[in-house]
Amino acid sequence: MKVFEIARMRKIEGITRRDRNRNDEICRRVGMNQDIIKPDPAMSSSLLSILWSRIKEKMARHNQNDCQKMNINIQEALRQSSR
C-alpha cells in the first residue's frame, strides 16, 4: 500500500521516478507524516497473490511470443536453455 501512496504523492508534486527523490523526501514535501492507508494483512496477502498470478501470466505470454519469433516451441526452448 505504501507504493500506491508514494506514487500518488509523486503525481501530486509533479515528481517523476527519474528525479530520484527518496520516499521520505516526497512525504516531507507533501506534508504527510503518517500512512493514509492502514495495512491489512489479509488484504495484502490476497493482493500479492493477484499480482503474482498476473506476473506469471505476463511472463508466459512473453515466453510464448519469444518462441514464436524464433520459430520453436516452448519444449525446444527449455531443452536449449538447459544445455
Q: What ranges do the domains of the chain cover? A: 41-81
Report which of 10, 57, 58, 56 is spatially closest to residue 30, judged by C-alpha positions. Answer: 10
pLDDT reported for residue 6? 77
pLDDT reported for residue 11? 80
Could you read off the pLDDT tens digit of each residue along the chain, which spans 83 residues?
577 777 877 887 788 777 777 777 877 777 776 665 566 677 677 777 888 888 889 988 888 888 899 899 888 888 888 77
pLDDT reported for residue 71? 92
Query: Cα separation of 7 and 9, whole Å?
Result: 5
pLDDT reported for residue 1? 57
